[in-house]
Each structure stands twice: as C-alpha cells, then as structure tokens.
Amino acid sequence: MWKRAGPVARPTSRARAFTAVVISLIVSATAVAQDKQDFGGYCDALRLFSSNHPDEAIARLSAWSVESLRHVMPQTTRCDDRGVTPALAVVAITYMAVAREAGPPDRIATDLALAESLLRGITPEHLRAGDRNVAAFRENWYIVATNLMLNWTDPLRATRFSDRGLAMFKNSAQLHTLSGVATELRAHLLNRNLHDPLVVAAMPSEALRTLLFAAEDQYRRALALDPHAIVARVHLGRVLFLRKEVGQARETLTAAAGDPAAPASWRYLAYLFAGAAAEFEHDLRRARTEYEAAVRAKPKARSGYIALSFVEQSIGNERRARQLIADIADAPDPEENDPWSEYENGRFDMEALAALRARLVR
C-alpha cells in the first residue's frame, strides 16, 4: 500500500528570496557568457569579411536576428582587430543586404538601417590611408543604399535614403540623380503604361505631372552640379518627352547621344528615346535614323530592333521589318544585354559597392 506523504515543508520568505537571487545570478552569468560567445562570433564574421571571405562572412551574419545585430554592432571597436572597424561593419552589413536575393524589401531596408546606424561613428582612422575622406565614404554609402532600394522597385524607401543623404550632401550630383530616378519610378508605378504614346498624349493625371516635374527638377540640379552626368541627362530627356516638351527632349537626348565619353548603354538609350520622340511627332524617317543609331550602339539589345521594325513596317518596308525581327528571334537572354530593361526595372550599381569597400583599412 502507498503511504501518505507527510506535510510538505514550505520555504520561508528569506529562503525564497535567497533562491531568487541565486537563480538571477545564474541567468545573468549565462546571459553574459552567451553575449560574449555571440559577440565573438560577430567579430569572427567581420574578420572573415576583412580577409576577403565575404560569402562566408555574409552567411554567418545572415543567421543573426535583427535584434542581435542591433545589440552587438555598437561594440564593433571591441573586436580587438585593427581591420575590424565600424566602417568595415557598415560595408559588411550592406553586402549582406545586397546578397538577400529573395528579399523581402522591408528586410533589405532593415539591413541598410542597421548599417546606417554606424555611419556617424566612422573616423578617418577607419578608412584606408591616403583616402580618409569620411564624408565621401558616407555619401558613397547613401548612393549604394538608394540604388539598392531602386533595384527592389521601392521608390519610397529609396527616396528616404536619398533625402537623408542629400540633407548632408546637398551638392551630390549622384544623389540628386537617384532622387529623380525614384520620383520618375513612382510616376511609372502610378501608370504602368506611361511609355505608351497615347498615354503620353493624354497625360490625364495631375499626380503624374507633379511627379514628372519633381523628377525633372532633380535631374537639372544634378546637371548644374555636374554637366557630364550622363545618367541625369538621359533621364531628363526621357522625362521631358513624357511631359510632351518634345523639342527640349530632342535637344537633351541629342547632346547625350553625342557625348564621346558616354557609355554605349546610355548612348543607346538616348537614341532610343529620341526615336520615340520623333515617332510621337510622326516623323518616321527621323525615328528610323535614331533607332538605327541605337542598334549600332548596342547590337545585341532587342528593343532597338523591335522599335526599328515597327517604323519600317509603318513606312511600308515589310521585308526589312520581318528581317529585323528574325535577326533577334533566336537571341538568348533577351533582357540581359538590353539597357532598356535595366532602365525600366532597375540595375544595382556593383561598381559603387566595390568603391565603398575599397575605402576600408587594408
């Protein structure tokens, strides 16, 4: 038979208090040990990034929660390694944001916000000898962050980054350009057929006109600061066309296409947009000349061939129209080599990111 247990002895209030203190100390000691372990892992990840193992470093950092990173990042200077600096952490976290191919955009923006939180703590000693311009590093970072959000088709977040950058760097032609691109993208998202000549002719929305005026203003600011800003000039020509300022658009795009220092991709876009402006004015022969120049500038880009084919068909050159389409029918990766696709959908500027990393202490 089971024996009934005797009365259970209950701890006194003093005993309960002592027990609570012991448990608290154990939990605290465990938390400190865990914190040290986590911080060590964070430093190790940054050391990997510093020693040219970015993929492994990013894989480790990506496993951390946002809160954990937010906790350890302000302590970066305690990593006890000359190469592991707040500037390195900024670049490593930015690389992590770039590497998140699956998104979502709000997580990308959160990663960038983590990196931005360390920007003000960067000193010249954190940067490469001979290139210790902290302001240039910060400006470069805002260019990268804005560009990355544009690449994710998130113009509102892109604008927030460009606005914060411009608050510090009012004379940054690149940030003014990117601010204009974000505003122009908002217009295209408001009306996804904005490239259609019928939509351009009607331009029914006051909101669209307001956005296009704002984009134009940013591009003009960029060009006032840097007359050789080819990206701003081509975008300005495009926006002027969308606003039906066709004469100004043609002059702007002709200047861009004729710039010998302009990359082929931007000359191609200038010719392509100039051809669209000529078509809008029903000047098909001029449109054909512009589209032919676009094809010569980027022979592997499909959009030039398609635009030229439509013009040839409209003129009555059916055979050439069919041949132009046949020339690109079997081309692989139709969007890979077409700057028009990048103009519409965004292209991340890896060169700007590489330039940011190149400024770090070696």
Distances (CA, A) of 175 to 145, 181, 202, 339: 10, 10, 31, 21
Give me the pLDDT at residue 193, please. 82
pLDDT at 261: 92
In degrees and rounded to multiples of 5, residue 235 shows phi and psi of: -65, -40
Give the angle subtended at the CA of 108 by the CAs of 59 and 45, to the nearest 5°.
25
Return phi, psi of residue 289, to 5°.
-60, -45
Burial of 166 (0-12, 13-18, 19+ CB in 10 A): buried
> What is the domain partition of the chain in residue ranges?
27-152
Q: Name the H helices within 243-317.
A: 246-257, 264-280, 284-297, 302-315
The string of pLDDT tens digits covering residues 40-56 is 999 999 999 999 999 99
Residue 344 pLDDT class (50, 70, 90 cuts): confident
Question: Which tens digit of pLDDT belongs to each residue from 102-155?
Answer: 889 999 999 999 999 999 999 999 998 888 999 999 999 999 999 999 999 999
pTM equals 0.86
- For residues 280 and 287, give the distance between their C-alpha atoms in angstroms, rounded to a whole number: 9
Spatial separation of the C-alpha atoms in residues 223 and 233, rounded to whole Å: 7
The pLDDT tens digits of the residues spanning 60-85 come to 999 999 999 999 999 999 997 778 99
Which pLDDT band, with edges at 50, 70 and 90, does 335 fall under?
Answer: low
Q: What is the DSSP string of 188-213?
A: HHH-TTTTSHHHHHH---HHHHHHHH
pLDDT-derived band of residue 38, with 50, 70 and 90 as boundaries?
confident
User: What is the token pair recorded at 135?
Assistant: 């302001």
Q: Which tokens is 163 given? A: 């606005």
Q: In the chain, what percentage of residues exceed pLDDT 90?
A: 73
d(CA 286, CA 278): 6
